[in-house]
Structure 1
Amino acid sequence: MTIHSSEIFAEGKQLILAPMVRVTTLPFRLLCLEYGADLAYSEEIVDHKMLCCRRIVNGMLRIHFIFIRYESGFADLDALNTIDFSLPGERYPIFRTCDEERDKVVFQMGTSDPERAVQVAKLIEADVAAIDINMGCPKDFSVLGGMGCALLQDPLKIAKLDSTLEVCKLIERCGASALAVHGRTRTDRPDSNNRNSDISTICRMLNIPVIANGGSNDISDYQSMENFRNQTGCEKLMIARAAKRNPSIFSASGLMDLNRIVCDYLKYVSGFSNVAVAIIDWFIFVALSHP
């Protein structure tokens, strides 16, 4: 459920990078935006952690000793120029963003408490394009904490979270700007069929944009995303595992070679992390690309 702001959900088709834990960090979000994603979600960040963070503005740092081989040449990098939300004593931020994505990044919050949610929203609102409340995660970590899909068991809590008042219609009446709907239930497995017809019904019922999610089992290229759009009736699509397998899925020009993607990814990782983190992230990225 997206609660701020309506401007980023423009009329017409949009492709959106879904929130994925340990995947949709700043470098990966920037990579997907470069390849054609219209919006990019952060990984879910729990309200408790954010409320313990300090907001830190990092200036531009020109790095002359890091070089990334990219296509046929070499280039030094502009590093940082970021806004970090960091816990005291921690080396790496809980959330990092930058001006390049400010109008396109959606901050996803895990919360079970309306008051904490409001506090986090006030803390982060100037640095992101929108704020999303996670009501779909089926993992025990979220559900046992009263977050994720556990929120759907308490519609009145949903209303209070979004500050005004049946689940989808209630969310719309709350003033939400958009609603992302995943076509599988908490008990379904990732390889279960996505309920595209149910998403289509919800899309017809609401006046706010409905974002179709859960179609990655049947998405292998740009055209198959169009098929998902036709089956759900939603102009706006949210892509998770298909983007993790190959982030160039967002490119209308077709899928890119993995070597090219890794070079592009390292360009962003090296600009926003230290060398050790860049190497670690590279191995993680390659592993995720070959499940």
Structure 2
Amino acid sequence: MSEDNGSAPRRYIDDYSNKLILAPMVRANHLGFRLTCRDYGADIVYSEELIAQKLKDTKRVVNEEAGTVDFMYKNGYAVYRTCERDHPNVLQMGASNAVVALQAAQVVCGDVDGIDLNMGCPKHFSVHAGMGAALLQKPETVHDILTTLKRNTTNSITCKIRLLDTVSSTLDLMKMIESTGVSAIAVHARHVVDRPRDRANWEKLSEVVKSYFGVPLIVNGDVFVHEDIAKVREATNVSSVMIARGALYNASIFQPHMESVDDVIKRYLRNSMDIDQHPSTTKWNIMQMMQEMKKRNPNEQLISQSKTMKDLSRWFDLEDYYEQSTSAKLEKTTQAPPKKQKTEP
């Protein structure tokens, strides 16, 4: 690896209309998973929410072995990774003020096509810090962050919101956001108090869309199989669809003929080995995918105990692929030397 003070050429997404998009999901949307969704037809892929306060303190490192660009935090942890196959991509940011948001954006703007402000996360860790859904009630702060990013970066700027209590209040928020010059607005068709088990409110979003004629909108919520894409488009009159859990359970949802989860896992595992993704990160996604399999894998418990990519490859008949992968080359060089055997007195 080598630290690089330079960056890739500036990038921008020209059009967010009529797109199939991987939604940001905490823990799930690392590079290996984004690449897999792109393989299956995702037009744009979002990162998981990355906290601006941490992102601004990362260093851009070119990882020649894995063919990636890694943004490393001071503890040696890669906060964000990307590569040429990852484009067009959007980095979703959690921020509560414009200064820190811009500092973070300036670190990564040469390696991402878009930057999205998270305005929908209802989790306590996000809201109590003034980020996520807390921003829905702070239009001045939102305006400041978005206009600052728009004026000082060359990326496309977007945000992801939730429905407010009334159609009129949602419209007012969207019109204010539009005035900042954003390229698109993603709307999670749920309220802040709603949880994933609650049905997405496509009908209310449809009422919003009837009165809104601004930037492209992206609908998010309750798309679990490919056929749901056409249903949500018809129900809301929004052309671009953002898919979250449906993609996590089966990343081939972006294509008309979905593959078996077992085949999807194998593709995901190959992508992860190619870029030397951390085994625990890879395993977490595999375990989420396996929960949706109609026929459970008999080695599920052993898979959950795997500690290396070699272990994971064994349970999915990918040992030969592993031996040729970046993960194999790097795992072999980082293995600790064997302990010395005690000798008899």
TM-score (norm 1): 0.84
Alignment of 1:19-38 (within 5 A): 19-38=24-43
- The answer to which of 201-210 and 44-53 deviates more is 201-210
Structure 1: distance between partners of 2:268 and 2:138 = 40
Residue of structure 1 equivalent to 2:271: 268
Q: Matched residue of 2:14: which SS? A: helix
Alignment of 1:134-213 (within 5 A): 134-163=118-147, 166-204=172-210, 205-213=212-220
Shift of 1:125: 1.2
Supply the distance in 2 between the matched residues of 1:136 and 1:28 (Cα, whole angstroms).
22
Structure 1 residue 239, shift from structure 2 partner: 0.3
Higher relative contact order (CA 8 A, sep 6+): 1
C-alpha distance in structure 2 between counterparts of 1:198 and 1:270, whole Å: 43
Shift of 1:202: 3.1
Tell me, yes or no, if the aligned pair for 1:211 and 1:236 is still in contact at 8 Å: yes
Letter aligned with residue 181 of structure 1: V
Q: What is the CA-CA distance between 1:203 and the residue it aligns to?
A: 2.9
Q: Contact 1:213 / 1:239 at 8 angstroms: preserved in 2?
A: yes
CA contact (8 A) 2:133 2:192 kept: yes
1:16 pairs with 2:21:
yes
* Inter-partner Cα distance in structure 1 for 2:31 and 2:271: 8
Q: Which whole-Å deviations, capped at 9, do the CAs of 1:10-58 have from their partners, x for residues lacking one?
A: x4x2110000011010000000000011111000000111111111112
Where does residue 112 of structure 1 map in the other structure? 96
Partner Cα separation in structure 2 for residue 148 and residue 206 of structure 1: 25
Deviation at 1:271, TM superposition (A): 1.3
AA of the residue aligned to 1:131? I
* Partner SS state of residue 264, structure 1: helix
Q: Secondary structure at the match of 1:255?
A: coil
- Gaps spanning 5+ residues in structure 2: where? 1-10, 149-171, 293-345
Is residue 2:212 matched to residue 1:227?
no
Q: Which residue of 1 aligns with 2:288?
A: 288
1:89 to 67, 75, 79: 75
Residue deviations 1:112-159, cap 9 Å, x none? 011111111222111011000000000001100100010011111111
- 202-211 or 151-160, larger mean C-alpha shift: 202-211
Residues 235-287 of structure 1 show CA distances to partners (whole Å, capped at 9, x for unaligned) of 000000111111111112x121122112111111111126xx33x34432232
8 Å CA contact 2:58–2:107 kept in 1: the answer is no
Work out the CA distance in 2 between the residues paired with 1:230 and 1:286.
32
Q: Which letter does structure 2 place at the counterpart of 1:39?
A: I
CA contact (8 A) 2:91 2:116 kept: yes
Aligned residues: 258
Structure 1 Cα separation of the partners of residues 115 and 181 of structure 2: 13
- Report the 3-state secondary structure (helix = DSSP H, G, I; strand = E; otherwise coil) of the residue aligned with 1:109: strand
AA at the equivalent of 1:96: R
The superposition leaves residues 76-110 of structure 1 with CA deviations (integer Å, 9 ceiling, x where unpaired) of xxxx11111111232x30000011113x1100000
The answer to whether the Cα contact below 8 Å between 2:175 and 2:214 also exists between their aligned partners in 1 is no
Return structure 1 stretches of 4+ with deviation > 6 angstroms: none
Q: Distance in 2 between matches of 1:182 and 1:105?
A: 19
CA contact (8 A) 2:13 2:113 kept: no
The residue number in structure 1 matching 2:254 is 250
Question: Is this contact kept in 2: 1:5–1:177, CA < 8 A?
Answer: no
Identity between Structure 1 and Structure 2 (%): 36
The 3-state SS of whatever aligns with 2:70 is strand
RMSD: 1.8
The amino acid across from 1:249 in the alignment is: I
Alpha-carbon distance in 1 for matches of 2:214, 2:15: 16
